[in-house]
């Protein structure tokens, strides 16, 4: 599917902190940050963090280029986005952000420090909401949404489940069809088909990170914040960001949920329905 930005992308030499690492340097790097099926994140030298693999989507790099072009939101600098034509492995070369995730330091922060973090994050997500909207629910370039709610492994259901969608009612129907696709009870699907249009309506598409949790917020050594992991970003209903942020509170073993409403507008009714639906699909 056609990319939003011309790919491959390589930053000009004046924007590079050092020469780009070769594929050989990337795949042999011993500094593995994260690894899962079909994807790996490694540091290469002092300057670069590289996400690569068969299951890495280049749209994550495009999302960061888009956010960087139209806002002042703090994101990692993107240095290269490309695919190896021989192996079909995708590569995103970006800035190595030195610091720690908000997940690892949150409980050590004072109330004053948490307030400052929340205020900065509020500005970040207000800027996201103000990014120009193309008038559909979907990813950059009118492509399918990357959230797992809309993912299927085959192309046959792309339009009806993956999107993009012209209306919120089409998006609601896609969630019902995903429910059926996952072999959930047909009668419960009919319940959702009847009820979702009553409770999930009148929401505009807004650009959303779509995975707001503390592990995806880096605090630099100088105290600055950087938002990472833009893989699932796109234009979602205005409630989407909040409902996912609360859903990822996990064990509810600290006060993060208290601070989320300071960062994002609350949608408690929508959260209740999305929480029920997600737990059925992935419990």
The answer to whether residue 14 scores a pLDDT higher than 90 is yes
The answer, yes or no, to whether residue 131 has pLDDT greater than 60, is: yes
Mean pLDDT for 64-84 is 98
Tell me the average pLDDT across 35-45: 97
Mean pLDDT of the chain: 96
pLDDT in tens, 187-207: 999 999 999 999 999 999 999
Task: State the pLDDT confidence band at 283, using cuts at 50, 70 and 90.
Answer: confident
Share of the chain above pLDDT 70, in %: 98
Query: What's the rounded mean pLDDT across residues 120-146?
Result: 96
* Burial (CB count <10 Å: 0-12, 13-18, 19+), residue 62: buried
Given a cut of 70, whether residue 28 has pLDDT beyond it is yes
176: pLDDT strictly greater than 80: yes
Domains identified in the chain and CATH numbers: 9-95 (3.30.200), 98-283 (3.90.1200.10)
Residue with tokens 């280049």: 58
Whether 2 shows a pLDDT value over 80: the answer reads no
Confidence of residue 155 (pLDDT cuts 50, 70, 90): low
Q: Mean of the pLDDT values across residues 251-271?
A: 97
Overall pTM > 0.85: yes
How many other CB atoms sit within 10 Å of the CB of residue 88? 8
| Beta strand extents in the chain (DSSP E only) | 9-10, 32-36, 39-44, 48-53, 78-83, 90-95, 99-101, 205-208, 217-220, 225-227, 234-237
The string of DSSP codes covering 163-175 is --BSSHHHHHHHH
List Cβ neighbours of 22 (8 Å cut-off, separation of 6 or more).
Answer: none
Give yes or no for residue 157 having a pLDDT over 60: no
Q: Maximum CA pair distance of the chain?
A: 59
- Quick one: pLDDT at residue 138? 98
Q: Per-residue pLDDT averaged across 12-29, rounded?
A: 98
Peptide bond into 53 cis (omega under 30): no
Please state the separation of Cα 247 from the chain's center in Å: 14
Judged against a pLDDT cut of 90, whether residue 82 lies above it is answered with: yes
Coil, helix or strand for 255?
coil
Is 1 a residue whose pLDDT tops 80? no
Nearest to 236 by CA among 137, 127, 126: 137
Question: Each residue of 8-31: b (16+ CB within 10 Å) or e?
Answer: ebebeeeebeeebbeeeebbebee
Residues 6+ apart with CB under 8 A from 184: 280, 281
DSSP secondary structure code for residue 145 in this structure: P
**Tokens standing for residue 257:** 């949920």
Confidence of residue 98 (pLDDT cuts 50, 70, 90): very high
Checking if the pLDDT of 260 tops 60, the result is: yes
Q: In the structure, what pLDDT confidence band is assigned to residue 277 with cuts at 50, 70 and 90?
A: very high
Amino acid 92: pLDDT: 99
């Amino acid at each position: 599917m056609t990319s939003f930005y011309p790919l491959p992308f390589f930053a000009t030499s004046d924007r590079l902190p050092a020469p780009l690492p070769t594929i050989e340097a990337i795949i042999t790097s011993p500094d593995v940050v994260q690894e899962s099926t079909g994807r790996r994140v490694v540091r290469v030298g002092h300057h670069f963090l590289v996400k690569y693999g068969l299951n890495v989507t280049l749209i994550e790099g495009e999302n960061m280029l888009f956010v960087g072009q139209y806002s002042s939101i703090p994101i990692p600098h993107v240095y290269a986005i490309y695919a190896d034509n021989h192996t079909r492995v995708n590569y995103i070369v970006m800035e190595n952000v030195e610091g720690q995730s908000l997940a690892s330091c949150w409980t050590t922060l004072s109330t004053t420090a948490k307030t400052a973090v929340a205020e900065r994050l509020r500005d970040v997500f207000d800027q996201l909401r103000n990014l120009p909207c193309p008038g559909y629910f979907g990813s950059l370039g009118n492509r399918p949404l990357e959230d797992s709610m809309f993912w299927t492994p085959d192309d046959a259901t792309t339009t009806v489940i993956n999107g993009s969608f012209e209306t919120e009612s089409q998006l609601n129907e896609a969630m019902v069809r995903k429910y059926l696709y996952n072999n959930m009870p047909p009668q419960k699907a009919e319940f959702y088909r009847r009820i979702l249009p009553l409770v999930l309506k009148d929401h505009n598409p807004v650009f959303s990170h779509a995975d707001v949790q503390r592990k995806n917020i880096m605090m630099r050594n100088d105290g600055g914040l950087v938002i990472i992991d833009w893989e699932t970003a796109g234009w979602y209903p205005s409630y989407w960001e909040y409902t996912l942020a609360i859903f990822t509170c996990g064990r509810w073993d600290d006060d993060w949920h208290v601070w989320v409403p300071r960062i994002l507008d609350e949608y408690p009714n929508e959260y209740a329905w999305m929480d029920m639906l997600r737990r059925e699909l992935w419990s």
